[in-house]
Amino acid sequence: MCRNCVKESCPDRGSCCLETGTYLMNYAGCCQCNKKTDINNIDKKSENDVDGNETVTYKHVCQTCDHVIARHEYTFSVDDEFQEYTMNCVLCGYGEATVSILPDDPRQQRLF
């Protein structure tokens, strides 16, 4: 992971969790070749374990010189009544979200 290629290392992205793609607004340019060309996302791996948890990892790589800019990790899991998502990447940032799988989110119910 190269912190010299990004404007801000691991920015807080709130509940934004990207399974694929690149946060280009945070890309300063490749520190190795000094160019700001497109980024390739390579070595994509998706792993599922027996509990249904999924982890997707890949590398953000400079299209010009193959310099590795960052390693991107995305996870998805189901925990009781909620789906949980996380993203961790020097370029794309850190984010996490929890979404109810029920028609009415129990966290949003009001007492009458």
Name the residue ranges covered by the structural domains of the chain. Answer: 3-105
Q: Which amino acid is at 107?
A: R
Measured distance CA(69)–CA(48) in Å, rounded: 26
Which pair of structure tokens corresponds to residue 79?
A: 């925990």
Measured distance CA(61)–CA(111) in Å, rounded: 51
Q: Please state which architecture CATH assigns to domain 3-105.
A: Sandwich (2.60)
Per-residue pLDDT of the chain (112 residues; tens, 9 = 90+): 788 999 999 999 999 998 888 999 999 999 999 999 889 888 878 787 767 788 999 999 999 999 999 999 999 998 878 889 999 999 999 999 988 877 776 666 655 4
Q: Which amino acid is at 30?
A: C
What is the three-class DSSP state of 91? coil
